[in-house]
Amino acid sequence: MSVEILDASTIFNFINDADFFTKSVEKRFSAIDSNHDGLLSYTELACELQKLRVIETHFGIDGVVPSSDELRQIYRGLFAQFDHDGNGSVDLKEYKSEMREVMLGIASGLGFLPVQMVLEEGSFLKLAVEREMASKVYA
């Protein structure tokens, strides 16, 4: 983890760099796709969400342990957001589309005033910051 400074433009530039964004999404998708079938199952995506501490960081319940039924409902709802065609699995196109929406939502929430954030290594936000820093070095 590291503390980084970013704003909405950091994220917009990351998304708008189509090659970099696509490669980043493909790499993460491959890492999540544990059986390498080119699709994310509910189990694979739920495992990733658990690693990201989605419940603790996005639902304001850090320290409160939801019941297994509540967790299942939350993860099923999140999975449905990714599974656009409702076929029970998430392909790369669906994953990329939803991650783009997630990143745009984060950018919208941040606005254009720089903020300091603690970022996980390899996270999309960390990649966005690294991309921005590299572009400034080579500019």
Q: All domains of the chain, ordered by start, with CATH?
A: 2-137 (1.10.238.10)
Predicted model pTM: 0.86
Report pLDDT for 56: 56
Query: How many CB atoms sit inside 10 A of residue 10's CB?
Result: 20
Report pLDDT for 53: 64
> What residue spans of 33-91 are helical by DSSP H?
42-51, 54-58, 68-82
**Paired tokens of 26:** 């493909």
pLDDT values of the chain reduced to their tens digit, one per residue, 139 residues: 899 999 999 999 999 999 999 999 999 999 999 999 999 999 999 998 887 765 655 555 556 667 778 888 988 999 999 999 999 999 999 999 999 999 999 999 999 999 999 999 999 999 999 999 998 876 5
Enumerate residues 6+ apart whose C-beta is below 8 A from 86: 80
**Paired tokens of 64:** 């409160």
Which residue has 């990714």 as its token pair? 82
